[in-house]
Structure 1
């Protein structure tokens, strides 16, 4: 008797409503994405079919509602929605969206080496999408690099509305902070979290300026290679208990190729006062105007060792031509975080080895909850291009320009709440750490992208610890 189908075990030819699966695109915390086409029209364009891993997941209903309310060139079109039922009759919601041939923002920058003008155009597009979303009463609440896909020619899309909400929508969780990624939270959100950390029944209400701050963080990291420190929090500097964060260096201090117009726009989105950030529409208009009026210096790639000739721009002398440009360097805050990570990793390694010796067994994962990429990819064709749906599902890093990449190489952030079946804090097992209420173990031999089953947290990869799970393997499965 064949095994019963599950959301993450569909194969080419299987049907989800009127849609025929063509290939696997990736898997994330809450969903799995397939490439599909309408069965009645084999010659139609492909679509991204996003299927919930958990039955009756309200996040998918929320995302479908937001997408149906918002229409903008920078937001993927919602094509269809429906329910897929297991053999036991459990309903899993699915969304069908426009298939995007693009890369996540930071990877796009690494591959295409954009200029200041191109970055301004991306910011203008994403801010324009946010403006339409905000005018409809909606909020994204998880704007970040992984949730912005950019096509090779520079067309940008804001993805993954699973963490979004709108005015009057019922809350899905009772947590202090809404869904999102800590590095992208504004100073007012961090202050609220610190002030009400131990209170019950208190919730931070996101605003449009939270989305703008997150877009500013995305642009800052795009042009400098590092996150801005959460030191735009003035109260942290006056609190004797909290260590004062390092000051944020302006983008041009970390990358001299950033034109002043772009640097000013990024600083505006990162302003400590929410009112100084303006609206998404104002940011979109300012970015578009700056891109149109910028001179030839705006067409110099922001990364790379050699600067191409630009008419009217003074060129470097021959003896300095091959000197490395100060770009993508680390700020003092970033260096502090790197050192902290190394210290935590070293301590975790010692504790892990002690734990292995004490228990007398080898580390291996026994949980069947996370499907490895090798198992999912078997028998599936590779897809040129990439569909990104962020933390609520997956960001797939496979494009037609990089056919050697393995489908399923994922970068999924640690979710804001423990996964179903995950061990919760306090974490008493040796070598484990508590992150956002769940117990995790660092995978010391792997760096992002972390791949299926692993999650990224502050530049490192972690495996969730379930009630019966052992620490993850320290090497990949033999081919």
Structure 2
């Protein structure tokens, strides 16, 4: 939770040459405004109170500097605000114009091609992230924007993410995230290590794969495979098997249903070996798709009959008593040092010089996967 009130910025406020247009949202790690540059380019400005989540904000900046891809939000710079008496860190990010995936999906009710296509786009972005050692850890519809300009899915908000060399910032066994999208291995770890000091789960690409399975399941059936809202709900994730999507909704092609169920396997070794492998599988399925893939998966909510409409708060899937037998068993690379960014990070009492020195000493990042312009970010 934010310890300090979010900055109250009126439309027209000038932040280092960017004119604030409107508040986009307030979350646990920061407040986001949309702002526009003189030439019309739009950006997201994420404000994080100094002394609250500075380390997490620096880590998010570090992660996003490591990878550029058209299906991932892009970072532009890091600064402080106000300049004369800093109270906030400010991340300048590329603004992704569009709708959240769940909002877009309910409005357009696409077919199996659309569902597979959106997951494929996300998997491509996550392939680049994982190659750079980055795990998002909170992949869900609320963190995915369908870009208006080309209809592609873009993963945003890496505030809960981590990378291979990152220090642990969480006190409990699990990092911040959304329980209904957390993998069985993460929930099992939290259950087994509850109350044990110093126990911290280290997320892997398999966690992001599982979350994509939850998203695909929800797009295909209108429901999540399991809802984890209260103590004890995680038992279903650990012990029960959700009905396959094609059993709940006959409009779901069998091959796509099989991909979804593999992503939801209880053991990470039973899922796809990597995001790259998932991309290969989905590309092959889309290339071979027949007419059945062109039928809308769900009926609009205004029409009776057909599969259940996509719902913002989907009801829990009925738990099945069948148990599975023999269940198949990260601040690095801030390269373009802060001095190379459009703004310069100014240390304060809350953000220690030692932390800044650690960031500035990191080695340069690997070559980016795509040009910034391909990712919807205008050079500052």
User: Would the aligned equivalents of 1:254 and 1:327 in 2 still touch at CA under 8 Å?
Assistant: no
Alignment of 1:71-470 (within 5 A): 71-85=68-82, 89-152=85-148, 153-229=150-226, 246-277=240-271, 278-304=273-299, 324-328=305-309, 333-334=316-317
C-alpha distance in 1 between matches for 2:175 and 2:77: 27
C-alpha distance in 2 between matches for 1:179 and 1:160: 12
> 1:139/1:297 Cα in 2 relative to 1: closer, same or farther (>3 Å)?
same
C-alpha distance in 1 between matches for 2:178 and 2:265: 18
C-alpha distance in 1 between matches for 2:130 and 2:180: 22
Unpaired segments of 5 or more residues in structure 2? 320-380
Q: Secondary structure at the match of 2:317?
A: helix
C-alpha distance in 1 between matches for 2:12 and 2:254: 53
* Offset at residue 191 of structure 1 (A): 1.5
Q: Give the number of the structure with larger relative contact order, counting CA–CA contacts within 8 Å between residues 6 or more apart.
A: 2
C-alpha distance in 1 between matches for 2:67 and 2:137: 15
> 1:256/1:44 Cα in 2 relative to 1: closer, same or farther (>3 Å)?
same
User: Would the aligned equivalents of 2:79 and 2:89 in 1 still touch at CA under 8 Å?
Assistant: yes
Q: Secondary structure at the match of 2:213?
A: helix
- TM-score (norm. length: structure 1): 0.59
> 1:244/1:6 Cα in 2 relative to 1: closer, same or farther (>3 Å)?
closer
> 1:154/1:290 Cα in 2 relative to 1: closer, same or farther (>3 Å)?
farther
User: Would the aligned equivalents of 2:214 and 2:264 in 1 still touch at CA under 8 Å?
Assistant: yes
Q: Secondary structure at the match of 1:111?
A: helix
User: Would the aligned equivalents of 1:76 and 1:97 in 2 still touch at CA under 8 Å?
Assistant: yes
C-alpha distance in 2 between matches for 1:131 and 1:45: 28
Deviations 1:359-400 (A, max 9, x none): xxxxxxxxxxxxxxxxxxxxxxxxxxxxxxxxxxxxxxxxxx
> 1:47/1:24 Cα in 2 relative to 1: closer, same or farther (>3 Å)?
same
C-alpha distance in 1 between matches for 2:238 and 2:112: 32
1:62 is aligned to 2:59:
yes
Q: Secondary structure at the match of 2:306?
A: coil
C-alpha distance in 2 between matches for 1:125 and 1:305: 24
C-alpha distance in 1 between matches for 2:76 and 2:238: 48
Deviations 1:333-358 (A, max 9, x none): 5357xxxxxxxxxxxxxxxxxxxxxx
* CA RMSD after TM alignment: 2.9
Q: From 46, 55, 58, give the equivalent of 1:50.
A: 46
User: Would the aligned equivalents of 1:254 and 1:328 in 2 still touch at CA under 8 Å?
Assistant: no
* Offset at residue 300 of structure 1 (A): 0.9
User: Would the aligned equivalents of 1:22 and 1:36 in 2 still touch at CA under 8 Å?
Assistant: yes
* Offset at residue 48 of structure 1 (A): 1.4
C-alpha distance in 2 between matches for 1:255 and 1:134: 32
C-alpha distance in 2 between matches for 1:280 and 1:194: 27
Q: Secondary structure at the match of 2:207?
A: helix
User: Would the aligned equivalents of 1:230 and 1:245 in 2 still touch at CA under 8 Å?
Assistant: no
C-alpha distance in 2 between matches for 1:323 and 1:33: 39
Bigger Rg, structure 1 or 2: 1
Displaced runs of 4 or more, over 6 A: 329-332
Unpaired segments of 5 or more residues in structure 1? 307-321, 337-479
C-alpha distance in 1 between matches for 2:263 and 2:74: 27
